[in-house]
């Protein structure tokens, strides 16, 4: 092996090094060496653990992950079966009251005044006249008992009723060939779903839970319930519905959660 | 004959011989290390997701062992890693079945050999002189981790799409049962990795073999062919 052969080199001192110095300070040298090796091993080990806090926050890594997430949106849209119904359940399996979830505590919920509340329609909708709660409650109802799946992993069976979203969109003359339906909420939450999901038979604008009007923490007077999306896609306290072809980030997708979020 | 002539003759002879097979053919080595990265991502990000809604009340995975700052980043990593793990895993299964590697390496598993190996292991009498042969415990562990890999992938798909893949999800039962299956598969794989990595580090030549390919095995007629191929 040529590398280790000590040939004559320009960079080699002509006289050999005085090795007495090394022997005299042997203990110190060994100590330094040991400490160096230990430090090296530790930092190498730490590097593998650092992935959690450092590497993932790097801009290029974040961009790459978001690109994959956008690709996953397309895969999920392709996997989506427009006529495939989710499993439904018996009334005795229903959890009462439903499980609360928002990005804040139930105590911080700002109740909506049903008497003055209106539902505004915007975007690619022919009839943009706002709806009152009474009008919404008079619209033909659909009942579904479906599973709510949270992105965190928990789930529960809920019993929801209210206007079927497809029938509602057709009723107000929405362009159902548009790409997205956006929901603007009273707590400044926004969510949007793809049109295929909006037109799914198990997608409703829920006004009742277990036959009674939805209570304040769960989205009174109007919320979305669809059997084919994760919980966070089901906007609560809806005050506006917008039909559009323009994508804008929603409350959670803007923070890195997957937009399509189909189940 | 001048030495150069001998060399060229030998080379000719080698070319007519069947190609010697390495212990770990190149595709296996590539898939092994790709899988190592994928599993690292999947476990670390999976732990992040797990922490948001723990299955076992006493088990919270320490932050420093998880991948991703917040839950959404864990999810992003998980649904990125799933492509690598899934596609690489499918390629591995197809390769293992098509080349007969699984049949050759993992079967048959004899009960007697299993008991002897366990006995030897408990008395620290296991030898690792021959990397090319798997003992019964190794066979069971490798077969088991392959099955856990298949199960974690299918349960993961069902967890991701319990409605679109409702037939698959129904095989596992309830949604929470599905989560537990996915979790237990993870635990099995982590358990396997603890043993696998520890033993690999104790027998460093096994790690080197997974990089270089290791010794040549069988299939060559002459001993010289094997030696030459091994020292290439």
Element (H, E) at B184: helix B175-202
Total beta-carbon pairs less than 8 A apart between chain A and chain B: 91
Place of tokens 């709660």: A133
pLDDT at A101 over 90: no
Task: Enter the tokens of residue B13.
Answer: 């002879």
Q: Is residue A79 within 8 angstroms of chain B, CB to CB?
A: yes
Interface test with B, best of A151, A153, A229 (most B CBs within 10 A): A153
At the topology level, CATH places domain B22-231 in Fumarate Reductase Cytochrome B subunit (1.20.950)
Domains of chain B by residue range: 22-231
Task: Say whether the peptide bond before residue B25 is cis (omega within 30 degrees of 0).
Answer: no
Domains of chain A by residue range: 1-80, 84-255
CATH architecture assignment, domain A84-255: Alpha-Beta Complex (3.90)
Q: Note whether A52 contacts B65, CB cutoff 8 Å.
A: yes
- Rounded to two decimals, the pTM is 0.82
What would the 3-class secondary structure string for B22-89 be?
ECCCHHHHHHHHHHHHHHHHHHHHHHHHHHHCCCCCCCCCCHHHCCCCCHHHHHHHHHHHHHHHHHHH
State residue B227's pLDDT score.
36
**Which of B71, B72, B164 lies at the smallest CB-CB distance from A84?**
B164
Mean of per-residue pLDDT scores for chain A: 87
Q: Averaged over A225-247, what is the pLDDT? A: 97
Per-residue model confidence as pLDDT tens for chain B (232 residues):
455 555 555 555 555 556 678 899 999 999 999 999 999 999 999 999 999 999 999 999 999 999 999 999 999 999 999 999 999 999 999 999 999 999 999 988 888 888 888 888 888 777 666 788 888 888 999 999 999 999 999 999 999 999 999 999 999 999 999 999 999 999 999 999 999 999 999 999 999 999 999 888 764 433 333 333 333 3
CB B81 within 8 A of CB B41: yes
Binding-site residues on chain B for chain A (CB distance < 8 A): 44, 48-50, 52-53, 55, 63-73, 75-77, 79-80, 83, 160-164, 166, 175-176, 179
Q: Rounded CA gap, A168 and A235, in Å?
A: 16
Q: Rounded CA gap, B79 and A151, in Å?
A: 13
CA gyration radius, chain B: 22
State residue B2's pLDDT score.
52
B91: closest CA among B14, B34, B7, B11?
B34
Q: Rounded CA gap, B62 and B54, in Å?
A: 12
> How many degrees, rounded to 5, is the angle at CA B113 between CA B194 and CA B195?
5
State residue A213's pLDDT score.
96
Q: Note whether B65 contacts A257, CB cutoff 8 Å.
A: no
Q: Note whether A152 contacts B52, CB cutoff 8 Å.
A: yes
């Amino acid at each position: 092996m040529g590398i280790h052969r000590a040939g004559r080199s320009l960079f080699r001192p002509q006289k050999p090094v005085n090795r007495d110095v090394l022997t005299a300070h042997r203990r110190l040298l060994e100590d330094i060496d040991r400490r160096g090796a230990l430090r090296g091993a530790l930092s190498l080990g730490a590097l593998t653990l650092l992935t959690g806090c450092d590497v993932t926050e790097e801009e290029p890594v974040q961009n790459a992950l978001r690109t994959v997430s956008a690709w996953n949106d397309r895969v999920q849209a392709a996997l989506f079966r427009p006529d495939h119904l989710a499993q439904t359940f018996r009334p005795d399996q229903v959890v009462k009251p439903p499980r609360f979830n928002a990005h804040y505590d139930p105590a911080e919920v700002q109740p909506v005044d049903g008497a003055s509340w209106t539902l505004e329609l915007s975007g690619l909708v022919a009839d943009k006249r706002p709806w009152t709660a009474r009008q919404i409650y008079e619209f033909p109802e659909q009942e579904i008992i479906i599973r709510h799946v949270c992105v965190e992993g928990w789930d529960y069976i809920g019993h929801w009723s209210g206007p079927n979203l497809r029938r509602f969109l057709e009723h107000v003359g929405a362009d159902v060939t548009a790409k997205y339906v956006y929901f603007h909420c009273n707590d400044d939450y926004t969510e949007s779903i793809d049109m295929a999901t909006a037109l799914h038979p198990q997608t409703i604008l829920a006004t009742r839970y277990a036959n009674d009007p939805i209570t304040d923490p769960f989205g009174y007077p109007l919320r979305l319930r669809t059997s084919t999306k994760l919980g966070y896609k089901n906007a609560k306290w809806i005050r506006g519905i917008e039909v559009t072809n323009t994508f804008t980030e929603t409350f959670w997708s803007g923070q890195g959660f997957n937009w399509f979020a189909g189940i | 004959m001048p030495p150069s002539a001998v060399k060229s003759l030998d080379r000719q002879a080698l070319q007519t011989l069947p190609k010697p097979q390495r212990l770990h053919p190149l595709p296996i080595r590539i898939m092994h290390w790709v899988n190592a990265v994928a599993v690292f991502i999947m476990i670390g990000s999976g732990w992040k997701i797990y922490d948001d809604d723990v299955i076992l009340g006493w088990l919270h995975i320490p932050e420093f062992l998880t991948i991703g700052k917040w839950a959404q980043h864990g999810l992003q990593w998980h649904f990125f890693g799933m492509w690598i793990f899934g596609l690489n895993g499918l390629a591995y299964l197809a390769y293992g079945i098509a080349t007969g590697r699984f049949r050759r390496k993992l079967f048959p598993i004899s009960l007697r050999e299993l008991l002897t190996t366990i006995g030897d292991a408990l008395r620290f009498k296991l030898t690792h002189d021959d990397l090319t042969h798997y003992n019964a415990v190794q066979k069971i562990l490798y077969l088991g981790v392959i099955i856990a890999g298949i199960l974690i992938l299918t349960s993961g798909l069902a967890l991701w799409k319990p409605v679109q893949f409702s037939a698959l999800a129904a095989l596992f039962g309830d949604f929470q049962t599905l989560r537990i299956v996915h979790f237990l598969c993870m635990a099995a794989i982590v358990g396997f990795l603890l043993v696998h990595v520890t033993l690999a580090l104790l027998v460093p030549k096994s790690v080197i073999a997974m990089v270089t390919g290791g010794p040549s095995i069988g299939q060559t007629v002459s001993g010289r062919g094997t030696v030459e191929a091994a020292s290439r």
